[in-house]
Chains A and B, each alone.
Chain A
Amino acid sequence: MSNTPEFIITRRFTAPLERVFAAWADPGQMAQWSGPKGARTVVLSGEVAEGATLFARGERDGEAYVHTLTRYIEIVPARRIVWEQSFADEHGNKTEPAFAPGWPVTLLTEVDFEANGDETVITLRWQPVDATPEQEKMFADNLASMNGGWSGSFDKLDEFLAA
């Protein structure tokens, strides 16, 4: 049994399975929704294929703020995609991101797709890979225990910061 902390989220999408799957499997489509707000993703090399690694740059206001390596482990059309994503430097070497010291360098993402009539249910699992106990703790504190964790208790802090 593994003690690695895991974050699980399920969401129902109002679109047919093939379209939802394509939005993940086609890098051109994925780039249109998968970056953070106000950011865009530029694919530098690679492709979405089992065993392949995609090297990408995240840009905000036209400036690179992150590089990522995404190694696709399993792609089962219309069913499942599994990949490992690591933070990297601009040369594509895995590294801890400067803006997130203590955060795991590599995260495993497993996405399962299931049709439900015209809708699609996605279940996504996220967990650290080869992380130190400290990195696992940071991940667990912030995500694996969203309800009990302190990210959920920021409301009071928000009120304070807004005051």
Chain B
Amino acid sequence: MNEPLDKAFAALSDSTRRAILMRLAEGEASASALAEPFTMSQPAVSRHLKVLEDAGLIETERVGQSRVRRLRPQGLVAARSFIEDMARYWPDRFDRLQRFLDETSDSKDPAP
């Protein structure tokens, strides 16, 4: 079991939370700014932010009276790498298959 990755994937399984992450990829933001694009209450957005923070995907910093959220790259890298592996699964293999076919073509000696 890999608990941090479990939490990260649970957090990432929701489209609203993914949208929040995409928004934060553009720069840090306050909770109210993050709530703006969504038709949901501030408390609902806060709950999503808590899930993301517990999963280590975002962090909070207090700036004066307000708090801003920003991405936490360390948390995202592990989750991201698996997703990327899967999204690239067949395209990558097809690239390698073509190389394999090129390397073992009749014009050269077949692989031992």
Contacts and interface: CB of A to CB of B under 8 A. Distances in A.
Nearest to B93: A34
B90 A126 contact: yes
A29 to B, nearest CB: 7
B92 A36 contact: yes
A157 interface: yes
B5 A14 contact: no
Contact of B25 (A137, A143, A149, A160): A160
B98 interface: yes
Interface in B8-30: 9-10, 13, 15, 18, 21-22, 25-26
A119 to B, nearest CB: 11
B38 interface: no
Decide if the interface of chain B is mainly helix, strand, loop or mixed: helix
B93 A154 contact: no
Contacts of A93: none
Contacts of B2: 98-99, 101
B13 A134 contact: yes
A43 interface: no
For chain B, give the interface size range: 35 or more
A122 B85 CA distance: 21
Interface stretch (A15-23, A46-54, A73-81): A15-23
Interface string B86-106: 110111111011111110110
B101 A23 contact: yes
Given A102-B9, A154-B84, 8 more contacts: A14-B101, A19-B104, A32-B111, A34-B96, A34-B97, A36-B92, A100-B86, A122-B94
Interface of B: 1-2, 5-6, 9-10, 13, 15, 18, 21-22, 25-26, 71, 73, 76-77, 80, 82-87, 89-94, 96-102, 104-105, 111
